Amino acid sequence: MPHSNSASVITIDLRAPARRALVILPALLAILSAWFIVRWYVGDTVAEYAPENPASATELARLATRWAPHDAFAHWTLGALAEKEFSANNLAEAVHEYEIAVTLSPNDYRYWMELGRGLEASGNSAGGERALGHAVDLAPAYSQPRWYFGNLLLREGKLDEAFQQFARATDADPRLRGQVFNLAWQVFGGNVDEIAKVACPSATARTQFAIYLVGLNRPDDALRIWATNSPVDRLAQSALGADLEKALIEAKHLHAALEVARDIEVERGALPAPETFRNGGFEFEIKLPSNRNFDWMIRSVPQVQIAIDTRAHNGHGSLRIIFAAPNNLDAIHVGQGIAVEPNTQYRVEFFVRTENLYSGSTPVVTIIDDADGTALASSPPLPTGTHDWQRIALDFKTKPKSDGVIVKLAREPCNETKICPIFGTVWY
């Protein structure tokens, strides 16, 4: 390497071919790499943002595979678009593109899943089963590949294997449980025991199936399936059990709901027997507001203050209600649901005391049928003023299909004016 005349400057002689190549080669490699990177990036971007028009999108996806032939996503996009334009040729093209995608990205379960679906659609069920099985192996904790695999097995008549996949899919995504029960209901013609055997391998699944049966108005079957869980499992399923209890109450099956409540309540002895009140004399403390099933449902509002009081007719507790409503009062939030027998005569007795009670419409105790909301009995309105404890008895008969009644406080509408104030204190 010759030196220039200056002692501080070194010059490089580029006239020799080898030396020129050493300088030019890295630049060429950089340009070539940039070219492939840009092609891949453009191809991937074109594949991702293909237009909505099917024909234009497909052509653009084909362009993407030419620009980025080693991009699995581009081939998957082309396959998905080809599959949408349903025909034998397009389906064959879709399968071909999916096969390229899994070759380029063999560990991506999504591409294997689409390949499996495409193979089955093209008539190759065995190939579809292998591909979907591999997708499940790659993503065993994901719901989607198991869901598609289960559906393929179901169409092949492999019921036990199909519902095994469905069970694992619903473990990953509980929202699928209802769809599994719908499928099972169709496949097994509504045979509850067969569905429970095949589609409900766990206590959770059996409880969810019981809730599903309530929705089909099959409360007896729901209780029977719930009872197949062990007592320990029923207690462990208290959250889902509460959902089952709620579903039964909303479906107006109070006896069945009470049975479920006994299974999930830690203090089971506190629950009432059918045809009886829970804490009917207000002897036990109630944490207000109270919204428990088979107990007093009580809620105060600014114009109606409700509390447990020590002043009692007998025992040591009563329910005290202080009214201070200068305008209207639409509701008194005190009531309890009770399981009853159909077509049966009952009597409800209670004592009430008033102090400085004034209103054009004083409270009444009303008993309504839980199923249709019709009134079965109602007490006379309380007398105004101050009165010591008085006994009131209500006789009523349940309807032929009654399963429960609601005992609640209410007010009759004021006849003379739209504004109907109420003031004073009442004890029950």
- Domains of the chain by range and CATH? 17-270 (1.25.40.10), 297-427 (2.60.120.260)
Which tops the pLDDT comparison, 225 or 412?
225
Q: How far, in Å, CA of 421 to CA of 362, rounded? A: 10
Strand order, beta sheet including 404-411: 297-298, 334-339, 404-411, 363-369, 375-378
28-42, 81-95, 227-241, 257-271: range with lowest mean pLDDT: 28-42
139 has pLDDT over 90 = yes
228 has pLDDT over 90 = yes
pLDDT at 327: 87
pLDDT at 330: 84
What is the average pLDDT value for the chain, to the nearest integer?
87
pLDDT at 83: 79
Q: How far, in Å, CA of 129 to CA of 304, rounded? A: 66
pLDDT digits over 183-206, tens only?
A: 999 999 999 999 999 999 999 999
pLDDT at 275: 96
Confidence of residue 328 (pLDDT cuts 50, 70, 90): confident
Q: At CA 159, angle to CA 157 and CA 165, rounded to 5?
A: 120
pLDDT digits over 335-385, tens only?
A: 999 999 999 999 999 999 999 999 989 999 999 999 999 999 999 999 999
pLDDT at 6: 46
69 has pLDDT over 90 = no
Percent of the chain at pLDDT > 90 equals 70
Confidence of residue 265 (pLDDT cuts 50, 70, 90): confident
Query: What average pLDDT does this structure show over 36-58?
Result: 51
CB-CB contact of 395 with 346 (8 Å):
yes
Q: How far, in Å, CA of 288 to CA of 26, rounded? A: 80
The amino acid present at 196, given as its one-letter code, is A
pLDDT at 16: 54
CB proximity list for 67: less than 8 A, separation 6 or greater: 39, 40, 42, 43, 46, 74
